[in-house]
């Protein structure tokens, strides 16, 4: 955990704003409440990070084997009302939990910068005015009951 926190501190010093793309085994989560169990799983990190940054958990995606979350640090450009049309690209760090040991690794994952930004805009579009974090459960099925509009997000 100390290495993860050091990496985050160094990243914030370098970039000011970053995005964590979390990756963890779905079997480590409680299937009755994926959102709450994701929060619980990352709570040790978040309690430390809350003291050093403005955090926002934007989305959690559940898949049969792996689940993912997006967590923004100091994203001053984020505007909930416009987030479905804005693609805010931030440096992405992949935080991955090992399936076997439950230990965490973190590393800079530049290929995800633009892709994750577009995915977050898409989730805002599909989830309409629902509050963040958005939960997409691909095991039970995803239904967008009230999308904001049909316009694609603007490119950065």
Strands 134-137 and 55-62 come out as parallel
Listed by start position, the domains of the chain span 2-137
Higher pLDDT residue, 127 or 89? 89
User: Is the pLDDT score of 65 beyond 70?
Assistant: yes
The CATH number given to 2-137 is 3.30.70
Query: Nearest 5°: phi and psi at 10?
Result: -65, -40
Closest CA to 88 of 54, 55, 122: 122
pTM of the model: 0.87
What is the DSSP annotation of 42-56? THHHHHHHTTTS-EE
Query: Nearest 5°: phi and psi at 56?
Result: -145, 115
pLDDT of the residue at 153: 53
How many other CB atoms are found less than 10 A from the CB of residue 68?
A: 20
Structure tokens at 44: 């040790």
pLDDT of the residue at 92: 97
**Residue range 91-112, pLDDT digits in tens:** 999 999 988 888 999 999 999 9
pLDDT of the residue at 127: 73
User: Is the pLDDT score of 155 beyond 60?
Assistant: no
User: Is the pLDDT score of 81 beyond 90?
Assistant: no
Closest CA to 24 of 96, 120, 117, 75: 96
**Residue range 20-48, pLDDT digits in tens:** 999 999 999 999 999 999 999 999 889 88
pLDDT of the residue at 156: 54
User: Is the pLDDT score of 63 beyond 90?
Assistant: yes
């Amino acid at each position: 955990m100390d290495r993860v926190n050091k990496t985050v501190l160094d990243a914030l010093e370098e970039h000011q704003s970053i995005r964590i793309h979390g990756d963890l085994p779905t079997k480590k989560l409680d299937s009755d409440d994926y959102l709450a169990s994701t929060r619980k799983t990352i709570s040790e990190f978040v309690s430390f990070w809350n003291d050093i940054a403005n955090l926002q958990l934007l989305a959690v995606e559940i898949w049969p084997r792996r689940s993912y979350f997006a967590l923004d640090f100091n994203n001053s450009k984020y505007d909930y009302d416009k987030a479905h049309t804005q693609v805010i690209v931030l440096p992405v760090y992949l935080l991955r939990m090992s399936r076997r040991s439950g230990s965490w690794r973190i590393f800079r994952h530049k290929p995800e910068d633009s892709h994750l930004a577009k995915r977050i805009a898409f989730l805002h579009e599909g989830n309409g005015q629902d509050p963040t974090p958005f939960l997409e459960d691909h095991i039970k099925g995803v239904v967008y009951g009230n999308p904001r509009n049909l316009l694609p997000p603007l490119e950065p």
